[in-house]
């Protein structure tokens, strides 16, 4: 249920209504927009006389929210959310260029790539220290040492970084990480999501390999209902009938998620396609579809990368792509 207040309602009257609703056992999510305030009601409103609420002079309208997700529902929060990713705004017209290697390998590698992508115009660095790998025999990341190297790269370039947390027991190590990534394989790790709901860091939530948009939004809801509203959604390709690409990039997810939710939506064309030559066209298509950012894997030496070399752009290729992204953005925002 949402209650839209009339513009310019006095604060005491608004507070009075919120307290009354809370006394009815409802949780009230307040969204103060530029012109109007929207009260999102969470809980069982069946026993509350909504006709009475609708008749109050400060209330513009009352409507039912049928979707199971509330906190991340655009009806609760009509204006776009702008997430501060280590000081970099993402969403609501702020476009984020996120780039870096799949995994952090050496200081030379991560600092070199960070400098190169920064020079190309990236706003945030990516790099995995804890890597979810299909095979237990593959390189699974440098762990704490990898996080340390990301800090070195941040100190050298000023770029905040996003990196994946796989296990809540490692959360302590992530104290000064700028954005915590929840990878596709953990999108429905509900205990992890609940814990991230209690932390004060932005969460980049990737869509699971075989998950619907509703399931993605319900996972965002796990984080947000715990109090952490800083969530960025990421479309990274899903399993379908693809035979020549790693996954199928579902670009219609971008405008659909924007319709359903106020959260920023970014696209990862690297894991979606698995092939470096397909990354630029799909990144540009994502920008054209209205994405709030693109996250691209870039490696200084893809041939010898410890993970995902086939989909990594070289720094000079990323530079060319970044220039084209800026051109498409001009068209999209015109
Ligand atoms: C990644 O971004 O490093 C990653 C492992 O991606 P995904 O979870 O989308 O497979
Ligand atoms: Mn990767």
Angstrom distance (rounded) from CA 154 to CA 161: 7
Judge if the beta carbon of residue 232 lies within 6 A of ligand 1: no
Ligand 1 centre and the CA of 234: distance in Å? 10
Instruction: Decide if pLDDT at 227 tops 90.
Output: yes
Report the percent of the chain where pLDDT is more than 90. Answer: 95
Q: Model confidence over 252-288: pLDDT tens digits? A: 999 999 999 999 999 999 999 999 999 999 999 999 9
Same domain? 215 vs 321: yes
Judge if the beta carbon of residue 183 lies within 6 A of ligand 1: yes
Same domain? 153 vs 15: no
Of 128, 140, 274, 310, best ligand 1 pocket probe by most atoms within 8 Å of the beta carbon? 128
Same domain? 57 vs 134: no
Question: For position 46, what pLDDT does the model report?
Answer: 86
Same domain? 21 vs 152: no
Domains identified in the chain, total number: 2
Among all bound ligands, the one having the nearest atom to the CA of 299 is: 2
**pLDDT band at 45, cuts 50/70/90?**
confident
Is residue 177 within 8 A of residue 166, CB to CB? The reply is no
Provide the CATH number for the domain around residue 300. 3.20.20.70
Same domain? 59 vs 93: no
C-alpha 102, offset from chain centre: 17
Of 110, 181, 233, 250, best ligand 1 pocket probe by most atoms within 8 Å of the beta carbon? 181
Same domain? 101 vs 11: no
Question: For position 33, what pLDDT does the model report?
Answer: 85
CA distances to 89, 118, 123 from 179, rounded to whole Å, are: 12, 17, 13
User: Residue 150 belongs to what domain range?
Assistant: 83-332
Instruction: Decide if pLDDT at 35 tops 90.
Output: no
Atom nearest to 181 CA in ligand 1: 2
Same domain? 211 vs 251: yes
Ligand 1 centre and the CA of 183: distance in Å? 5
Say which residues have a Cβ less than 8 Å from residue 66's Cβ, sequence separation at least 6.
none
Instruction: Look at residue 72 and tell me if it is in a domain.
Output: no
DSSP string, 151-177: HHHHHHH---EEEE---GGGGGGGTT-
Question: For position 76, what pLDDT does the model report?
Answer: 92
Ligand 1 centre and the CA of 6: distance in Å? 44
Same domain? 29 vs 92: no
Same domain? 169 vs 242: yes
């Amino acid at each position: 249920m949402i209650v839209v207040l009339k513009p310019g309602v006095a604060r005491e009257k608004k507070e009075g209504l919120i307290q009354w609703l809370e006394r009815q056992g409802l949780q009230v999510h307040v969204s103060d927009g530029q012109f109007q305030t929207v009260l999102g009601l969470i809980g069982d409103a069946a026993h509350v006389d909504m006709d009475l609420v609708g008749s109050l002079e400060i209330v513009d309208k009352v409507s039912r929210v049928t979707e199971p997700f509330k906190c991340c529902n655009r009806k609760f929060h009509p204006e776009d959310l702008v997430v501060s990713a280590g000081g970099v705004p993402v969403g609501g017209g702020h476009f984020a260029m996120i780039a870096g290697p799949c995994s952090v390998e050496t200081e030379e590698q991560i600092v070199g790539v960070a400098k190169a992508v920064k020079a190309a115009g990236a706003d945030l660095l990516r790099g995995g220290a804890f890597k979810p790998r299909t095979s237990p025999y593959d390189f699974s990341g440098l762990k704490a040492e990898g996080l340390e190297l990301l800090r070195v790269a941040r100190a050298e370039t000023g770029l905040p970084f996003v990196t994946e947390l796989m296990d809540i027991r490692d959360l302590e190590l992530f104290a000064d990480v700028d954005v915590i990534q929840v990878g596709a394989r953990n999108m429905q790790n509900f205990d992890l999501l609940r814990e991230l709901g209690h932390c004060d860091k932005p969460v980049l939530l990737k869509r699971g390999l075989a998950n619907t948009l509703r399931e993605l939004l319900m996972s965002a809801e796990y984080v947000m209902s715990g109090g952490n509203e800083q969530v960025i959604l990421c479309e990274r390709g899903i399993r379908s009938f693809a035979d020549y690409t790693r996954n199928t990039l579902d670009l219609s997810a971008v405008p659909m998620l924007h319709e359903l939710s106020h959260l920023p939506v970014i696209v990862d064309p690297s894991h979606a396609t698995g092939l470096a030559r397909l990354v630029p066209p799909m990144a540009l298509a994502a920008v054209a579809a209205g994405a709030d950012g693109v996250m691209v894997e870039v490696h200084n030496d893809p041939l010898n990368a410890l993970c995902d070399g086939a989909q990594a752009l070289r720094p000079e290729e990323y530079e060319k792509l970044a220039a084209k992204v800026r051109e498409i953005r001009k068209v999209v925002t015109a």
